[in-house]
Amino acid sequence: MEHRNYMGGQWVDSESSRTFESLDPATGEVVGVLPLSSAADAEKAVEAAAEAFNGWRLTPAPKRGEILFRVGQLLQERKEQLAQLVTREMGKVIAEGRGDVQEAIDMTFYMAGEGRRLTAHTVPSELPNKFATSLRDPVGVVVAITPWNFPIAIPSWKLSAALICGNTVVFKPASDTPVLAAELVKVYEEAGLPAGVLNLVTGSGSEVGDVLVKHPRVDVISFTGSTDTGRSVLTETANRIKRVSLEMGGKNAIIVMEDADLDLAVEGILWSAFGTTGQRCTAASRVIVHRAVERELAERLVDRASKMKLGNGLDPAVDVGPVINARQLQKIHEYTGVGLQEGAKLVVGGEIARQGELARGSFYPPTIFTGVRPDMRIAQEEIFGPTLAVISVDSLDEAVRVNNDTRFGLSSSLYTRDVNRAFEAIRDITTGVVYLNAGTIGAEIQLPFGGTRGTGNGHREAAWTALDVFTEWKTVYVDYSGRLQRAQIDLVEGIG
């Protein structure tokens, strides 16, 4: 099926007349044909968003919320259809495809509610007969650059938050999942979003993304993707004084202490390490385990991982779907070689799956290394695949140090029955998300999401904190005393 760009309320062909194919990573079949857009297309999309901005910012926020609420309803109605498309275009198993769409539904309804809230602050003035309050103003044109691993959920995080605040948006999806982006934009169109408020441009990051990042009429860039690309975005915008929100990599760890419920820990590790085939920024790629239970835990993990079924995620019996493309498949396999060269012990997996139907797609089995040192590359670098490094320690203090000693800081987890140690870990772990007796994945939309160090640049997505990315604070003072009052200088009568 052929798709087009969406600009100014119209579905249009690319100026370049070039196209590219989006492929099913499980079968290699064509899912859709998309415009391979040019710099001229990016320019048109920004101009359409800029032209629509004034009308949208003056649309009452409750009315904006009503449109988002309709978006959420349409997503609910099309949940199964979209979930199947998530599995076909991105590869995650169907249960996770449904979860991807559900997260978009949840976030859209949440942000629709912000249309009647958009929380700000009214505080007492230090002077008599003076009113002091604050307001949120939209910033302007937002560029949303999104990844392929959550092709419905993550765009919805960005789009719903930007739009409820009164901004207009140019949406640049990952080239591996553009069909889902087009289907999502159709939902917004059907919900009644005015022309130009949301615009879609598909194509390469080098040709389209660079123009959008550098464009003088773009005010905010919200990016989720690799750390290297995020760093480039930040560098390109540094002298342009744009607002930039970055959500990037992770090297997340699950700490398992000697008193942990190992049955529960195994379930959490398998889900966190091999769910979405390890292709989550919150995926657990390290297990930091107390030496007293290391052998038992590793044996259980190997036994369970070796029995996980690879295949097309549309089959409900499949546990692990494909990785996104052949390039990523090769990268994952190269890291297996790195681990072996570093002296880690490969205990399960480690070979590209080429048997039968699996040869048609990009499949890599759950892979586990034991005997991993904290300074090894497989313990430090983001692999973004189903590879797990097991590291042994002798204490909670050592475990926390190992946990914190990476250039990323997104998510972490601790399994223990000791409430005192749990609170010590909460205090000392330096990641943006911390779980107790649960895996490293499964964040909820009503709390801030994001990380420290190389994971981001200080902003948070989701919840009320997302509003700060897409709004400017305006402080308002109303003096109804009828005379000049000087803050910090004039004393309130009868005081001082």
CA–CA gap between residue 171 and residue 337 (Å, rounded): 37
Please tell me which residue in 281, 294, 382, 461 is annotated as part of the active site. Answer: 281
Q: Among 228, 182, 158, 149, which residue's Cα sits nearest to residue 37?
A: 182
- Residue 446 is classified by DSSP as T
Q: In angstroms, rounded to a whole number, what is the distance separating the alpha carbons of residues 250 and 208? A: 26
Q: Can you tell me which residue has the tokens 């929100």?
A: 245
DSSP characters over 378-442:
HHHS---SSEEEEEEESSHHHHHHHHH-SSEESEEEEE-S-HHHHHHHHHH--SSEEEESS-S--
* 3 state DSSP class of 143: strand
How far from chain centre, in Å, is Cα 370?
A: 29
Catalytic-labelled residue, pool 89, 96, 103, 247: 247
CB 347 within 8 A of CB 359: no
Are 432 and 449 spatial neighbours (Cβ–Cβ below 8 Å)?
yes
Active-site residue flag, 281: yes
Contacts of 355 (CB under 8 A, 6+ apart): none
**What is the full DSSP assignment across 225-275?**
S-HHHHHHHHHHHGGGT-EEEEE----EEEEE-TTS-HHHHHHHHHHHHHG
Hey, which residues are catalytic here?
247, 281
